[in-house]
């Protein structure tokens, strides 16, 4: 539980240089307070706003925009099963109004269709509530630096569905030659790791390089494949047999 993890974390006195302001949209009051405490005690984060419903968050964003300002949230951590408007519908509306805000789903739902619907709606990441507090922070830092990571459980679910759809569209026995799209050997290796569902650190450990090096290669993969997320990169890699 996040609450227990927070009790073991030292309180950071005089925290400065906040880099990432997070808005929380979560209807479970106890879990929402745990997230608020997590971000207010983690170096480099702050809880900029907290809402019990998606409509309340959208109303606040609209109110600020009417006064000529935009919400200072850099990222929104969004539950899916919310009262009234769902988190997925709220993501669509929020991204339509404020496309530069990163939306990350934090939910209990692991169904492939739900994950893909959230990503299609504009979510930059998809985390499960069973994810530990340190891993949540690590994933959000990656997203803030331009990545779109998925936790291994979610990645495996997405990949299974993408492979299934690819086989239906192209035939399991298709012998079309693979396309490389000028990827370097290392970029191909990194992309192979993404297709296997490995996280950034797992990829770095597997290839014997630093996490920063992995991020650099992933940026190259995104640029050459003309995609903006892990899910898009993996989908194209499977569809076009790039790796």
CA–CA gap between residue 199 and residue 201 (Å, rounded): 6
Sequence-distant (6+) residues with CB within 8 A of 140 are 20, 22, 45, 75, 77, 104, 125
Mean per-residue pLDDT, 37-65:
95
Q: Tell me: the pLDDT tens digits for 32-48?
A: 999 999 999 999 999 99
Task: Please state the domain extents for the chain.
Answer: 2-148, 174-239
Q: How high is the pLDDT of residue 42?
A: 94
Res 13 pLDDT > 60: no
Q: Tell me: the pLDDT tens digits for 102-115?
A: 999 999 988 877 88
Mean per-residue pLDDT, 158-173:
57
Q: How far is CA 168 from the centre of its chain?
A: 27
Mean per-residue pLDDT, 120-125:
84
174-239 has CATH 1.10.10.10 classification: yes
Mean per-residue pLDDT, 114-138:
88
Q: What is the DSSP string of 167-201?
A: HHHH-TT--PPP--TT--HHHHHHHHHHHTT--HH
Q: Tell me: the pLDDT tens digits for 173-196?
A: 444 445 567 899 999 999 888 877
Q: How high is the pLDDT of residue 117?
A: 84
Which CATH number does 2-148 carry? 3.40.50.2300
């Amino acid at each position: 539980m996040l609450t227990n993890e927070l009790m073991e974390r030292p309180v950071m006195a005089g925290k400065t240089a906040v880099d990432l302001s997070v808005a929380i949209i979560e209807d479970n009051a106890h879990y929402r307070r745990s997230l608020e405490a997590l971000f207010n005690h983690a170096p480099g984060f702050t809880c900029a706003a907290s809402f019990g419903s998606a409509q309340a968050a959208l109303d606040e964003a609209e109110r600020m925009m009417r006064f000529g300002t935009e919400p200072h949230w850099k990222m929104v951590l969004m539950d899916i099963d919310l009262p009234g408007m769902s988190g997925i519908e709220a993501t669509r509306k929020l991204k339509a109004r404020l496309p530069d805000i990163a939306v990350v789903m934090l939910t209990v739902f692991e169904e492939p269709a739900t994950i893909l619907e959230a990503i299609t709606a504009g979510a930059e990441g998809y985390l499960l509530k069973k994810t530990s507090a340190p891993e949540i922070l690590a994933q959000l830092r990656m997203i803030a630096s331009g990545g779109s990571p998925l936790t291994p459980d979610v990645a495996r679910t997405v990949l299974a569905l993408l492979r299934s759809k690819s086989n239906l569209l192209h035939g399991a026995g298709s012998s079309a030659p693979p396309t490389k799209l000028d990827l370097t050997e290392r970029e191909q290796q990194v992309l192979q790791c993404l297709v296997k569902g490995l996280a950034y650190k797992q990829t770095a450990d597997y290839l014997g390089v630093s996490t920063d090096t992995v991020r650099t290669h992933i940026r190259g993969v995104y640029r050459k494949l003309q995609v903006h997320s892990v899910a898009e990169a993996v989908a194209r890699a499977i569809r076009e047999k790039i790796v």
